[in-house]
């Protein structure tokens, strides 16, 4: 990218325009928004189940976070986008967990307090068990990097590391313009969870199908 860096990027000049995984991210966002537009009228009924009422709250939050991640990528704020990843994954996981363990909706209705509800790692393990996986990956292993980013642990350093010149690196405080690997990693990480949100939209409101 040559010349002066724009203060605000637009879809035609954003720094990671043309990355294959980012293209797929945009494609699935379009699909998700179309599905939501079809499903939303169904949610305006007054006789929603407890699970549907939960989904009416959590699915829009997941969509909003997804769009926020996309805009942060557009503006080059990759580090912040990576931090938001956990917020998206947690909501997608709650949707899936409560679908597989419907009786747990009572814990959600009562506030989803830590003493009553499983944390993200426990939900990962419970979902794997319900899906009868041959080998179960420890939930803590699946959440480790997200926790490091969120809580500023020492091993979170690589996610905002940038080259200053040929022989120096530093930690970015603003836009990250030269880390396509971070962009690709983020897209690869969030794409499956957007699919989960879409599938849960169809599961909780089965009269509408996924595009």
Confidence of residue 174 (pLDDT cuts 50, 70, 90): very high
Q: Can you point out the beta strands (E) in the chain?
A: 161-165, 168-171
Residue 6: CA count within 13 A, CB half-sphere: 12
pTM over 0.75: yes
pLDDT in tens, 5-64: 788 999 999 999 999 999 999 999 999 999 999 999 888 877 999 999 999 999 999 999
pLDDT in tens, 135-154: 788 988 999 999 999 999 99
Pseudo-torsion of CA 9, 181, 153, 76, nearest 10°? 0
pLDDT of residue 6: 83
Above pLDDT 70, what percent of the chain? Answer: 97
Nearest to 148 by CA among 83, 88, 94: 83
Q: Of 88-92, 123-127, 157-161, give the lowest mean pLDDT range.
A: 157-161
| Residue 165: strand pairing partners | 168
111 DSSP 8-state letter: T
Burial (CB count within 10 angstroms: exposed 0-12, middle 13-18, buried 19+), residue 47: exposed
CB contact at 8 A, 73 and 180: no
């Amino acid at each position: 990218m040559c010349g002066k860096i724009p203060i605000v990027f637009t879809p035609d000049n954003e720094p990671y325009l043309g990355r294959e995984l980012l293209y797929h991210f945009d494609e699935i966002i379009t699909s998700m928004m179309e599905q939501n537009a079809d499903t939303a009228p169904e949610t305006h009924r007054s006789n929603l189940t407890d699970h549907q009422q939960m989904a009416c709250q959590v699915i829009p939050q997941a969509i909003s976070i997804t769009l926020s991640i996309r805009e942060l990528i557009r503006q080059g704020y990759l580090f912040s986008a990576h931090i938001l990843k956990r917020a998206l994954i947690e909501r997608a996981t709650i949707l899936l967990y409560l679908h597989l363990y419907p009786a747990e909706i009572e814990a959600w209705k009562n506030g989803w307090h830590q003493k009553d509800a499983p944390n993200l790692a426990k939900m990962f393990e419970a979902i794997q068990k319900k899906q009868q996986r041959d080998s179960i990956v420890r939930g803590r292993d699946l959440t480790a990097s997200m926790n490091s980013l969120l809580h500023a642990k020492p091993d979170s350093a690589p996610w905002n590391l940038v080259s200053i010149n040929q022989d120096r690196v530093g930690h970015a405080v603003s836009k990250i313009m030269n880390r396509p690997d971070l962009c690709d990693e983020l897209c690869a990480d969030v794409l499956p969870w957007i699919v989960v949100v879409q599938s849960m939209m169809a599961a909780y409101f089965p009269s509408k199908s996924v595009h």
